[in-house]
Amino acid sequence: MLIEELSASINTLPDIGYKRIAELRQMGIDSIRSLLMHIPRDYIDLSKHLSLAEAHMGRFANTICVIKAKDYIGQGRKKILRIFVDDDTENAVLVCFGRNFLDKAFDIGDKVFVNGFFEYKYGRLQSTSFSIEKYTDKSDSYGKIIPVYSVKGKISQKLMRKLIKEAIKRYLPMLDEPLPDKLIADNNLMPIREAVQEIHFPTSIDNIKKAKRRFAYQELFALQLMLMRNSIKRKKSYQSYAVFDTELRDKIEKSIGFALTVDQKKVLEEIFKDTINPIPMARLLQGDVGSGKTLVALLASVPYIEAGFQVAMMVPTELLALQHAENAANLLGKYGIRIGLLTGSQKTASRKTLLAAISSCEVDLIIGTHSLFGNDVRYKNLRLIIIDEQHKFGVAQRAKLLEKASNPDILLMSATPIPRTMALTLYGDMDISTIKTMPPGRKPVITRLAVHGKEEKIYAWVENELKKGNKAYFVYPMIEDKDETELKSAEKMYEELKKRYKNYKVALLHSKTAEEQKKAIIQGFSHGDISVLVATSVIEVGVNVPNATCMVIEHAERFGLATLHQLRGRVGRSDKQAYTFLLYSSNLTEDAKARLMTLRNNTDGFLIAEEDLKIRGPGDILEGTVQAGKLRLLFSNPIEDKALLEKTHSDAARLLKADIALLRPEHTYLNRLINIVSGDIAI
């Protein structure tokens, strides 16, 4: 049995009642598997004897003492017990704040284990932070390394240790080793049973490191193996034969009026090689905000359309769908390419007409939101699926759209750049294209920080930009005021900014704005007389206004680094100098300071992505990328474990080359492990 298969309930353990079970379930522990995978957050090293004489100012002692005396200081209910101890090197007093019950637990003359932090105070060595237990031949703590767990409610450290110790006693002998012996030997890995024992009740600090490395290796290796098998399986499927060429694509490219960047041209050729390959394409196109990914995707779709196929482009918001549809119409419409916009807010009659046109292949390029995979949507000849801002979609949503075609080509796009090691972790079964160079003429956005209270200087700066005929965004973390917070809201600031910029038209946009009104506001801001757009982060994607040169983000510390970078990307989309102002509260956390300083000092989205991961750790990797329970790495960190990640990648490739179906006897449990991982993590 694998540890992943230990589904037995925790109520199979002795001395655990319904209340404790309920409390453990609140901690996410409901099975033996989840109990054993509740890894210690820290350890207390009591393996070494440290005498009282060694416990100088603020130092730790772990020793065996004799109780010499006891007394109380203070009077009545406020009196405090003191226990005087001696270990033959020094004497000390244990000050028992809130622990007068220890008076009955210990007698003068008792031999005891004592550990804690000591300091000289009032002329003697003493401690208020200590543990004490009666001396026995087998102590629960002395001479050992003690695990410290994350706990909640009335679940104590003592209870957690007891439950895990019992679970190990009962179930550890049942565990089978999923990794082949050769893999364990070649990588000097700790066997699984030993790793489980040592991660919870280690015999040395070095063994904690070895156990963690074992689990980290298995975690990454299983993920790499699963991704590679998915890739191999995909590459064994084939599409129907078709003739593709680039004649129309090249013609449209020449009509744009400017030259594509080197990266854009390179990516277009990479995609076209996939297009003419009978093996279905699976490619991730990543590029910084404003790098021209959408243009590449539209051009890449032309050979499919020219060959008689349909292309579907799915985006997360109606605003972005509308923007892409407009761009596609301007770029492709004059060449006879038929474009359809399918969203959830469409009226029944127009939707019915569009669906009929899609099903009869009278529409070539269908751009829309989640509506693209609705039950009533039937495609005639869908060959290419493009998913923009792909991390905004869950696994199941992407799968539903893929079911609309037979072995389609897939192009995922992301403006959240992914570091190489992270991409290897998440997209090991996909080819990756990257656009790093920005369109010519673009100037880096100048980012400035200001503490709240200095808004007027920024507002005046914005007014000077408005006088030049430019436009500005103001972004807030919430739509409306709430009594329990001092945060500014979009609705309140909309009223104030209307007064502040009374000579200019100001509009308000947020998630509760009706779709038709959203479209009208965006049209007015993009091409009309709206000069100031007050919004929430709803404008993070899908708004492209070249003459918007100012972005003011208030309470910037409330936004994640990736969101801040995306918001900043709404400006600087022309040859004009653009500015982003980050207004922040004076009481910043260290993480918030790090985020804002990273954004101020950098405009490279790839570097920002790296820094973001360093600040917040991998955790739920790129939240939203994996939405089938999310990919949570408990032991490995792709940023810190680059070497281990690359080693598991090469090991997985070598193993699959020798036994692609994992049918060899030594791969039996590994095959079971991969099937479990595939069920838990679908990318």
The predicted-structure confidence for 254-300, as pLDDT tens digits, reads as follows 999 889 999 999 999 999 999 999 989 989 898 888 888 999 999 99
Residue 137 lies in a domain: yes
- Are 54 and 95 found together in one domain? yes
Looking at the domain assignment, is residue 336 inside a domain? yes
The reported pLDDT for the residue numbered 391 is 63
Q: pLDDT grade, residue 345 (50/70/90)? A: confident
Give the pLDDT of residue 426.
61
Contacts of 155-162 spanning 24+ positions with Cβ under 8 A: 155/20, 155/23, 155/24, 155/27, 159/20, 160/38, 162/15
* 3-state SS assignment for residue 624: coil
pLDDT of residue 683: 35
For residue 51, the SS3 value is: coil
CA pair distance 465, 578, nearest whole angstrom: 10
Question: Token pair 């020798």 is at which residue?
Answer: 658
- Residue 27 forms part of a structural domain: no
Ordered alpha helix ranges (H), 255-292 = 262-276
**Where is the domain boundary, 143, 160, 186?**
143
Give the Cα-Cα-Cα angle 203, 205, 208 (nearest 5 degrees): 80
End-to-end CA distance of the chain: 26
CATH number at residue 78: 2.40.50.140
In a domain, 337, yes or no: yes
Own/partner pairs for 10-19, CB < 8 Å, 24+ apart? 10/35, 10/163, 12/170, 13/163, 13/166, 13/167, 13/170, 14/166, 15/162, 16/163, 19/154
- Co-location of 558 and 488 in the same domain: yes
> Torsion angle, CA of 131/135/141/143, rounded to 10 degrees?
120
Residue 32 included in any domain:
no
Return the minimum-mean-pLDDT range out of 3-12, 432-441, 660-669. Answer: 432-441
Contacts of 435 (CB under 8 A, 6+ apart): 261, 263, 264, 267, 285, 286, 287, 288, 291, 292, 293, 296
Would you say residue 630 has pLDDT above 60? no
Cα 193 from Cα 171, distance rounded (Å): 10
Which of 572, 602, 632 represents a domain boundary (last residue)? 602
Cβ atoms of 292 and 439 within 8 Å: the answer is yes
Shared domain for 465 and 363, answered yes or no, is no
Contact 363, 310 (CB under 8 A): yes
Instruction: Tell me the pLDDT tens digit for each residue of 104-117.
Output: 999 999 999 999 99
The secondary element (H helix, E strand) that includes residue 123 is none
How does 279-317 read in b/e, with b if 16+ C-beta sit within 10 Å? Answer: ebbbbbbbbbbbbbbbbbbbbbbbbbbbeebbbbbbbbb
Phi, psi of 616 (to 5 degrees): -105, -5
**Does 664 score more than 60 pLDDT?**
yes
Tokens of 534: 């007050």
Residue 253 shares a structural domain with residue 402: yes
450 and 379 in a common domain: no
| Structural domain boundaries enclosing 138 | 48-143
**201 in a domain, yes or no?**
no
Q: How confident is the model at residue 468 (pLDDT cuts 50, 70, 90)?
A: very high
Q: Is residue 487 domain-shared with residue 404, that is, in the same domain?
A: no
Query: What pLDDT sits at residue 417?
Result: 65
Q: What is the residue-wise DSSP string for 367-423?
A: EESGGGG-TT---SSEEEEEETTGGGS-HHHHHHHHTTSSS-EEEEEESS---HHHH
Residues 385 and 251 in one domain: yes
- What is the pLDDT at residue 421? 58
Most confident of 58-62, 138-142, 460-464, 610-614: 460-464
Whole-model pTM? 0.68
Under the banding of pLDDT at 50, 70 and 90, the label for residue 149 is very high
Does 552 lie in the same domain as 456? yes
My answer on whether 484 and 384 are in the same domain is no
Express as a percent the part of the chain with pLDDT over 90: 55
| Burial of residue 551 (number of CB atoms within 10 Å: 0-12, 13-18, 19+) | buried
Residue 621: its pLDDT value, please? 41
Amino acid letter at 155?
I
Distance CA 381, CA 384 (A): 9
Phi-psi region of 497 (alpha: psi -120 to 50; beta: other; left: phi over 0): alpha
Q: Which of 143, 158, 176 is the last residue of a domain?
A: 143
Q: Give pLDDT, residue 441.
A: 76
Both 299 and 366 in one domain: the answer is yes
Are 490 and 571 in the same domain? yes
Instruction: Based on the fold, state whether residues 269 and 370 are members of the same structural domain.
Output: yes
Q: Are strands 59-73 and 111-121 parallel, antiparallel or unpaired?
A: antiparallel
> 41: closest CA among 218, 166, 200, 217?
200
Supply the DSSP symbol for 532: E
**Higher per-residue confidence, 439 vs 34:** 34
Q: Is residue 361 part of a domain?
A: yes
Of the ranges 187-196, 343-352, 440-449, which is most confident?
Answer: 187-196
Residue 543: the pLDDT is: 76
pLDDT at 329: 94
Over residues 537-573, the pLDDT tens digits come to 888 776 788 899 999 999 999 988 888 988 998 998 8
Residue 282, domain member (yes or no): no
Residue-level pLDDT at 16:
83
Distance CA 3, CA 24 (A): 19
Domain count, the chain: 3
Domain at 558, CATH number: 3.40.50.300
Q: Note whether 415 and 288 are within 8 A (CB).
A: yes
